[in-house]
């Protein structure tokens, strides 16, 4: 016992760098989740969520456990937020944002301007009156959520499917071709910190529609119209299979200088075929540096807008499907949430290995945003194999850990220590393993001690 305390004290001061004998008290490990597996690769993993399902404990159990990003499925759309002209209604959307915040999750806003799900009153407007109504809508809604969102889908589905890369005909398009750039400029003025995205479907491969979007984004960037990201919905089924040039298409947008995100992923099917396609989407995102995250369009198959296609990662009972394990594995992680568990707290627990450790080093990188961060730590063994490890670092004032994975955290602010979990304590000489944690406040700086 005294030996453990001495080790922790030495680690906390960063004084111990050489080989050490570790005596680790067994404790529950953090289970691997979709969110943790993605965060270990500096990506988020999100889902669409519906406020009216928050009374369903199976639903919220999975939502809280697995996801690091949340998109309101319908609650931020024009019909929901402005049911009567200039009279705004935010209660359902606010519920989602507050719940996400309380769980350390970020939020993608969806969607400020779209030809669908408009309130009835817009149908009597056109021309300048409709344009002014759109601007007023964007200003009000984006201002209401100012500083609270990771990103906004500013404009959704504005290109046609007719194969010539043209704009979709709609009441908004009829107000003038500049309606999209006006929407982006208005959103930037109202919420300067949210990333501003264009979002669409059937743009997943290189085709006339995605090239139409590509040309618009390139033009916006050249003319200084604020745009930060492009969302690829990726609703995949047999009529619309995952294109072979999916990654290349993401990359060509990234090469323009915008971030790319998979925003509404669902893949019709089952078993190995579905799992393989999910894994291929993850691998494509990982291969594109500027692909910052993946959002699935719902939690259980029964939550899907097309539930008959069983397109999601959890079955109707909330059990993880084969595709779930494939996603975790594609991120390079090991599933610890056993197939068959329904919901609630992660059920994995293990006894960390106890033994003689060799020397090691710990380095970390941060993915930080206003008010929070994800830190990924790499533990590298020296000339001797490790059979267990501990990493210590000191968080800056105001920082607090909300979640960690692939390590057991001791403490959540100030001096914190992380020890290996059961499966990653053994590290061959010269090899590495990694773990991560998420927190609020400023990201860690300085160095981490490893023993």
List, by residue number, the catalytic residues: 264
102 vs 68, 93, 252, 439, CA distance in Å? 12, 14, 36, 12
CB of 367 to ligand G3I, least distance (A): 27
* Residue 289 engages ligand G3I in binding (rule: CB under 6 A): no
DSSP output for 277-302: HHHHHHHHHHHSTTEEEEEES-SBGG
What does the alpha-carbon distance between residue 185 and residue 196 come to, in Å, rounded to a whole number?
A: 10
Number of residues in contact with ligand G3I under rule CB under 6 A: 9
Among 27, 74, 341, 361, binds ligand G3I (CB under 6 A): 74
What tokens were used for 68?
């690091």
Q: What is the 3-state secondary structure (H, E, C) of 53-102?
A: HCCCHHHHHHHHHHCCEEEECCCCCHHHHCCECCECCCHHHHHHHHHHHH
Mask 83-112, x = binds ligand G3I (CB under 6 A)? ------------------------------
324 to 363, contacts with ligand G3I by CB under 6 A? none
| Residue placing its CB nearer to ligand G3I in the complex, 116 or 128 | 116
Nearer to ligand G3I, 156 or 375 (CB): 156
Contact flag: residue 264 with ligand G3I (CB under 6 A): yes
Quote the least distance from Cβ 360 to ligand G3I, whole Å.
47
* The one among 4, 25, 84, 116 contacting ligand G3I by CB under 6 A: 116
Is 73 a binding residue for ligand G3I by CB under 6 A? The answer is: yes
In whole angstroms, how close is the CB of 237 to ligand G3I at the nearest point?
12
State the minimum distance, in angstroms, from the CB of residue 212 to ligand G3I: 17
Locate the DSSP E strands across 76-179.
Answer: 106-114, 151-156
Q: CA-to-CA distance for 368 and 440, rounded, in angstroms?
A: 10
Minimal distance, residue 233 CB to ligand G3I, in Å: 5
d(CA 108, CA 149): 6
Is 406 within 8 Å of 332 (Cβ atoms)?
no
Q: Does 54 bind ligand G3I (CB under 6 A)?
A: no
Residue 305 in the binding site for ligand G3I (CB under 6 A): yes
How far, in Å, CA of 223 to CA of 278, rounded?
Answer: 36
The residues that touch ligand G3I, with contacts defined as CB under 6 A, are 73-74, 116-117, 156, 201, 233, 264, 305
């Amino acid at each position: 016992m005294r030996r453990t305390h001495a080790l922790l004290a030495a680690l906390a001061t960063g004084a111990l760098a050489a080989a050490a004998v570790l005596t680790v008290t067994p404790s529950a490990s953090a289970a691997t989740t979709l969110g943790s597996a993605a965060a270990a690769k500096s990506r988020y993993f999100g889902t669409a969520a519906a406020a009216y399902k928050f009374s369903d404990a199976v639903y919220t159990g999975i939502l809280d456990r697995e996801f690091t990003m949340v998109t309101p499925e319908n609650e931020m759309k024009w019909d929901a937020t402005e049911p009567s002209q200039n009279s705004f209604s935010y209660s359902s959307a606010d519920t989602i944002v507050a719940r996400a915040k309380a769980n350390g999750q970020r939020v993608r806003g969806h969607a400020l301007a779209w030809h669908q799900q408009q309130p009835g009153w817009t149908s009597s407007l056109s021309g300048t009156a409709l344009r002014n109504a759109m601007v007023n809508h964007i200003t009000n809604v984006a201002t209401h959520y100012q500083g609270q969102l990771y990103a906004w889908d500013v404009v959704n589905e504005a290109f046609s499917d007719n194969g010539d890369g043209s704009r979709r005909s709609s009441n908004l398009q009829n107000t003038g071709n500049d309606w999209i750039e006006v929407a982006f400029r208005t959103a930037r003025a109202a919420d300067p910190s949210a990333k501003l995205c264009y979002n669409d479907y059937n743009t997943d491969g290189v085709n006339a529609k995605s090239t139409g979007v590509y040309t618009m984004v390139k033009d916006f960037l050249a003319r200084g119209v604020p745009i930060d990201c492009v969302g690829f919905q990726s609703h995949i089924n047999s009529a619309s299979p995952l294109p072979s040039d999916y990654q290349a298409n993401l990359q060509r947008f990234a090469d323009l200088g915008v971030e790319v995100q998979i925003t509404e992923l669902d893949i019709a099917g089952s078993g190995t075929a579905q799992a393989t396609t999910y894994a291929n989407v993850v691998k494509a995102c990982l291969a594109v540096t500027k692909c910052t995250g993946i959002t699935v369009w719902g939690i259980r198959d029964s939550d899907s807008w097309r539930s008959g296609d069983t397109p999601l990662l959890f079955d109707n009972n909330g059990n993880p499907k084969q595709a779930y394990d494939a996603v975790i594995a594609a991120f390079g992680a090991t599933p610890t949430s056993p197939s068959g568990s329904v919901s609630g707290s992660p059920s994995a627990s293990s006894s960390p290995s106890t033994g003689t450790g060799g020397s090691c080093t710990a380095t970390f990188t941060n993915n930080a945003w206003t008010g929070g961060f994800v830190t990924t730590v790499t533990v590298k063994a020296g000339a001797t194999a490790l059979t267990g490890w501990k990493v210590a670092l000191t968080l800056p004032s105001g920082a607090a850990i909300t979640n960690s994975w692939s390590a057991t955290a001791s403490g959540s602010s100030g001096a914190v220590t992380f020890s290996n979990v059961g499966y990653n304590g053994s590290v061959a000489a010269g090899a590495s393993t990694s773990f991560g944690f998420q927190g609020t406040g400023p990201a860690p700086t300085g160095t981490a001690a490893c023993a």
